[in-house]
Structure formats: structure tokens, C-alpha cells
Amino acid sequence: MRDVRHLYVHLPFCASRCGYCDFVTVVGRRGEQGAYVDALLAELALEGGVLAGPPETVFLGGGTPSFTELGELARLLEALPPAGELTVEANPETITPELAALLRRAGVDRVSLGAQSFQPGLLAVLDRRAGPDDVRRAVYLLRDAGFDNISLDLLYGIPGQGAADLDRDLAEALALEPEHLSCYELEAKPGTRFTVAHGAELERQAEAMEGYFERVVDTLTAAGYRWYETANFCLLPERAGGRDLRARHNLGYWLGRDYLGIGIGAVSTVGGERRRNLPGLARYVAALAAGTRPPREIELLDGDTRARERLLLGLRLDEPVALAEVAPAVDREALDRLAALGLVEVSANGRGEELRLTRRGRFLGGAVTAELLA
Ligand SMILES: C[S@@+](CC[C@H](N)C(=O)[O-])C[C@H]1O[C@@H](n2cnc3c(N)ncnc32)[C@H](O)[C@@H]1O
Ligand code: SF4
């Protein structure tokens, strides 16, 4: 089987750890980056056979890919197969003219910057190293280097945040004219230091979340962005010289396509299997140095599980899902009820029946999808 078209590469290293973060990260340990890049390339050599030629998309995510030592990052990018879209995640304070030029030379055509907020007080609550000026400077440096596809990540529901702060963050982000924006509800894992420290305030934020979500959607759509996925927005083609600026890599996930993930904690979905590499750095590097596969968990995905996932992810998009693809996962009675309530829209055309959430349904999102599940 050689039909995987999306490659994810995990670079876990970060300068420090942000309290709210639940991603697989490794703090500091720069001296281990060379061995880690060797291991990534060894894993790609072992697993890359599933790729159907050059991938449509490659995504370097983290951690902080832009914290990788420049020589190692260049070596990695050079060894990766060419792709139709090559995205690198970056933290604002790591962007220098040298890094921006290196990324550009290496064929990176999309940079996803973790801004999170433009309010110094809120950035401090999140333990972010970058201040608002670092975010702006990073965007200018990337523009100077020739990047014309920049995405900004924002968070809402941050302890201490109010609606006016969110409005200011959205305005500051829009002033930078990014091609793409990801706006996430802050998720705080129960039992973490962050959650214990901000417990009562996180509860207050949880109550405000629905209102924040509507504010984000209303503001960004009014500013000419397409709300193409629950948390993702891109400039409308008519504002972008006809370009479709949706994140093609993530679109692959939402459309239920197979993908190969390499690196610690990376997940792959390949031909009915979900493979999850374990998070330990030393064991990962040692296994690949010995020419063996890294420690990982394998889950078999049956047709029903895939249909459920396809429904859950597909309904996050503003385009319809073919009912035939998700039929085993859909409760028909619930579908009729939700359609009558104006939360789901069923349409029929030459390709058969299709469903999507209405605008109101999208605001309720997960709750509607949960009810729809058989
Ligand atoms: C893989 S993370 C890391 C990117 C980069 N290291 C950074 O911090 O900007 C990608 C994005 O996920 C989002 N994110 C991280 N932790 C989150 C959380 N607990 N809840 C919601 N979104 C989160 C942030 O917006 C972040 O920019
Ligand atoms: S820099 Fe990004 S990946 Fe690293 S700890 Fe902070 S949020 Fe997580």
C-alpha cells in the first residue's frame, strides 16, 4: 500500500514549558537535537514506503520546530521529500532574519506562528516567552523573507481574559493581515499545575466560552475570512488573489485521509491502523540508532470507528460529508430531529445525500455531532 499523501514530523524541543501545554515536548537538551534528527530520518527511511511519491503536504510541528539548531533544521528540511505545501510551526521569539531565510531557501511556504495573545498580562499567565512586539516583529521578518502564507494561533478563555481583551487580540492579529488564523479555546487538563493555579477563574472562563467563540467567528468573517473549520479561518479567495488558503495538511486529517507521522509522540493512520509513537526521547533515539522501529502502540481501526471519526472530523468543516461515507455512524432519527431543529442540513445531488452543520449547528459543534452518533 503506497497511498499516503501527508507527512507530519514532530520536533519536540522547546526553550521552556508553557503551563497549559499538553503536547509532547522536551525542554532544552539542545545537544540531543542532532541525534534526534538522525532518528527522524531513520524512521522516515523505515516507514516512508507508504508514501505515494512526493507528499501533498509536510508539516513540521512541535514542540518548537523553530527552536531547532539551524544546522540541524537545514539538514532535516533538505532530507525531507519535496511537498506541495510545507508548513513549519514557529514561536515568535525564535524568528530571526537567518532562520526566515533558511526556511525560505529550504522550500517552506507556510509558517504557523504561535501568537496566543497580544496582552502582556495574559501572555505572562500562559508562561509565554514572546511579547506582543515579538509577534509583530516575527511577522515582519517573515514577510521580508518572502513568506506570503502566514498563520497566527490565538487562544481564548485565558485566565484573566475578558471580552474586550479578546476583541483587542483579534484586532491586533487582523492588523498583521495573516492569510490564516487558528483560534482555539484554551483547554486546561484537570490535575495540572496550571489548572490547580487557576481553578475558579477557569470555571468563569468556561461559562464565557460560547460567547467568545461567537465573537471570534463574527469578527473574522466580517473581516473577510472564511470560517472553514471550527477553529480555523483563511482569507477568502477574492481577498487573496484567488488562492485557496485553507491549511491543506490539516484538511487531510479532517477529510479522513491517511497520514504518516514521525518523531516522538507522533501518530500515523495508515491502512486501517493507528500507530502512536511513545513519548520518550531516549528510547526513540536508541531504537532507531539500532535500526529498529521506535516503541509504539498500534490500534486497529474497524469500518465503524473510521466512519465515526470521519463524521466527527468532517462536520467540523464548512463543506458537506457524503452520507454514504458515514452512514454506519449516523443515528437516522437523530439526524431528522436535528435537521428539523435547523442544526443539520441534508441535501441531495448527483453524488447522493450529503450532510453538514448549519451555522447555528456549528456553534454548538461537538454537542450536535455527539447526538448524531449512532
Ligand atoms: C503544537 S502547539 C505549539 C506551537 C508552538 N510551540 C507555540 O507554542 O506557539 C500549536 C498550537 O496549539 C495551541 N495549543 C497549545 N496548547 C493548547 C491548549 N492547552 N488548549 C488549546 N490550544 C492549545 C496553541 O495555540 C499553539 O500555538
Ligand atoms: S512553546 Fe509551544 S509546544 Fe513548547 S511548551 Fe510552549 S506551547 Fe507547548
Reported as a single tens digit per residue, the pLDDT across 330-349 is 999 999 999 999 999 999 98
6 and 249 in contact (C-beta within 8 Å)?
A: yes
Q: Which ligand is located closest to the Cα atom of residue 186?
A: 1
Sheet with 85-90: strands ordered across:
225-229, 232-235, 180-185, 150-156, 110-116, 85-90, 57-62, 6-11, 260-262
Q: At what angle do helices 70-79 and 33-47 cross, to 10 degrees?
A: 10
> What per-residue confidence (pLDDT) applies to 209?
96
Binding site membership of 17 for ligand 2 (Cβ less than 6 Å):
yes
Mutate to test the pocket of ligand 1, among 14, 21, 25 (most ligand atoms within 8 A of CB): 21
What is the per-residue pLDDT across 323-333, written as a single tens digit (0 to 9) for each?
999 999 999 99
Q: Is there a contact between 126 and 155 (Cβ–Cβ < 8 Å)?
A: yes
pLDDT tier, 72 (very low <50, low <70, confident <90, very high otherwise): very high
β-sheet with 344-349: strand ranges across = 321-322, 352-357, 344-349
**Residue 134 banded pLDDT, cuts 50, 70, 90:** very high
Give the rounded percent of residues in the chain with a pLDDT score beyond 70: 99
CA-closest residue to ligand 2 atom 8: 21
**pLDDT tens per residue, range 32-55:** 999 999 999 999 999 999 998 999
pLDDT value at residue 122: 98
Instruction: Determine the atom of ligand 2 nearest the C-alpha atom of 22.
Output: 8
Cβ of 184 below 6 Å from ligand 2: no
Instruction: Give me the pLDDT at residue 351, please.
Output: 81
Q: Which tens digits make up the pLDDT trace of 258-291?
A: 999 999 999 999 999 999 999 999 999 999 999 9
The pLDDT value recorded for residue 349 is: 83
Per-residue pLDDT at 264: 98
- Model pLDDT, residue 12: 98
What tens digit of pLDDT does each residue of 144-194 get?
Answer: 999 999 999 999 999 999 999 999 999 999 999 999 999 999 999 998 889
pLDDT on residue 1: 62
Alpha carbon of 274 to ligand 1 centroid (Å): 23
Q: pLDDT at residue 374 above 90?
A: no
Instruction: Report whether residue 184 contacts ligand 1, using a CB cutoff of 6 Å.
Output: yes
Ligand 2 mutation target, pool 13, 21, 66, 264, most atoms within 8 A of CB:
21
